[in-house]
Amino acid sequence: MENYYEQAQKGAWVSILSYIFLSAGKLIIAGVTASSALKADGLNNVTDIIASIAVLVGLKISKKPRDNDHPYGHSRAEHISSLIASFIMMVIGLEVLVDAGQSLFMDKSEAPNLLAAWVGLGAAAIMGGVYRYNIKLAKKLDSQSLYAVAKDNLSDALVSIGAVVGIFGSQFGLPWLDVVAAFAVGIIICKTAIEIFKEAAHSLTDGFDEEKLGHYKESIGLVEGVKEVEDVKARKLGNQVVIDVTVKVDPHLNVIKSHEIADQIEHMMNDEHQIKDTLVHIEPDAYEKQK
C-alpha cells in the first residue's frame, strides 16, 4: 500500500505532466493565432510546472526521517514548498498583468483565430479533471501542499475559461476583449498566490484552526480522571498534527495512576482524531487539593 508521500507525489506528478503538455500546446497555438489571453494562460502553466516541481521537492524532503538537528523530522519542508509556489505564481501573475496593461493601449484590430478558443476550452476540461483528482487526494491525505496544487489546478481551469470568453468575444467585433481576458487571468493568478501564501505562512507560524482546538479540548475533558483541561496547543508538521495538552487531575493520585490518564488521552487522540503525537502535562487540581 502506498504511503502518504508516495500518494502526494503522484498528485504532483499528474500536475507537472499536465502542465508540460498544456503549456507547450497553448504557447504554440497562441503564436499561430495571435491570442494574448491564450499566451498569458500558457505562460501561467509554465510557472505552474516550476511551482509543482517545488511542491514535489518539498514532499521528497518531508519524508526524510528525524535526525540529530531535526528532532521533529523534515515535514515542514512541505509548507515551505507551498510558500515557494505562491511566490512563483505571484511573479508570473504580476508579469501577465503588466503585459495585459501594455497590450490594452496598443492597436489590436484583428481578432485571434477561433482555434485558440477551442484549445483553451480543451485545456479547461483537462485541468478540471486534474483538479478533481488532486482535491480528492488532498482531502484524503490532509496535505497542505497538495491543496495548494489543487487550488492552482482550479485557478488554471478558470483562467482557461476566461481566455476562451475573451477569444469568443473578440469574434464579435471586440478584439480588445481578448486583452481584458488576459488581465483577468493575471488577477486570478495573483489571488490564488495570495491564498496559498496565507495558508502556508499560517502553518509555518504555528497557526491552527481554533474550532479544531475546541473539539480536541472537549474530547480530552471527557477522559476519565481529567478534572479540567487547562490548555491545549497544536501545530501542523506536514499532514501530521502535534498537540500539547495540560490537564488537571486529582492531586491524591500516585504517579502510576496519573500516567495512566495521560496514556488514555494519547490513545483517545489517536483513535478519535488520528493524532499520533500528543504530549500530556499533568498538574494537580488545586480545588481538589483543598478538600
Cell representation of residue 96: 501577465
Do residues 114 and 171 lie in contact, with contact meaning Cβ atoms separated by under 8 Å?
A: yes
The pTM is what? 0.73
Cell representation of residue 76: 515542514
The answer for 34, left when phi > 0, alpha when psi is -120 to 50, beta otherwise, is: left
Q: What is the DSSP letter of 275?
A: -
The order of strands in the sheet holding 226-237 is 226-237, 240-249, 277-284
Q: In the prediction, which pLDDT does 34 show?
A: 78
Q: Do 4-204 and 210-290 have matching folds?
A: no
- Per-residue confidence in pLDDT tens, the chain, 291 aa: 357 778 888 888 999 999 999 999 989 988 888 777 788 788 878 888 888 888 888 888 888 888 888 877 788 888 888 888 888 888 878 887 887 777 767 665 566 677 888 888 999 999 999 999 999 998 888 887 888 888 888 888 888 887 788 778 777 777 677 677 778 878 888 888 898 899 888 888 888 888 989 999 999 999 999 999 999 999 888 778 899 999 999 888 889 999 999 999 999 999 998 888 899 999 998 765 555
The domain made up of 210-290 has a fold known as Alpha-Beta Plaits (3.30.70)
Q: How far is CA 163 from CA 98, 124, 202, 271, in A?
A: 17, 10, 32, 48
Among candidates 163, 158, 223, which has minimal Cα distance to 26?
Answer: 163
- Each domain of the chain, given as residue ranges in start order, spans 4-204, 210-290
| Domain 4-204 annotated CATH 1.20.1510.10 | yes
Q: How far apart are CA 204 and CA 208, in angstroms?
A: 10
Crossing angle between the packed helical segments 4-33 and 144-170, to the nearest 10 degrees: 20
Report which residue type is found at 38.
Answer: L
